[in-house]
Amino acid sequence: MTILPLAAPSVAPAWKTKPSWYLVARDDRMIPPDAQRAMAMRAGSTAVELDGSHAIYVSQPGGVAELIEAAAEAVTASTI
């Protein structure tokens, strides 16, 4: 019997079962910060806010790296 990928049952999305983090760019003019906050809250994410535009990864690389490190440490600590 062949199972087509589109016919396979879906499982719970990862954002519902795994911890997540969201970086809100306070000066974003592409995705309004309030919309970013709402998406983060809906996903149950830990939200971190930084001053910067949609290109926050360019303008605040240190802050982005800190968020990634904090997320990695939290996940690592929870699996030990």
DSSP of 66-78: HHHHHHHHHHHHH
Kindly state whether residue 59 falls inside one of the protein's structural domains.
Answer: yes
Kindly state whether residue 10 falls inside one of the protein's structural domains.
Answer: no
- Number of domains making up the chain: 1
Q: For position 1, what pLDDT does the model report?
A: 57
Per the structure, the complete domain to which residue 63 belongs is given by 18-79
Kindly state whether residue 3 falls inside one of the protein's structural domains.
Answer: no
Q: For position 70, what pLDDT does the model report?
A: 95
Q: For position 52, what pLDDT does the model report?
A: 96
Residue 43, exposed/middle/buried by CB under 10 A (0-12, 13-18, 19+)?
middle
State the amino acid at position 4 in one-letter form. Answer: L
Span 8-61, pLDDT tens digits: 777 888 878 889 999 999 999 999 999 999 999 999 999 999 999 999 999 999
Kindly state whether residue 61 falls inside one of the protein's structural domains.
Answer: yes
Residue 53, exposed/middle/buried by CB under 10 A (0-12, 13-18, 19+)?
middle
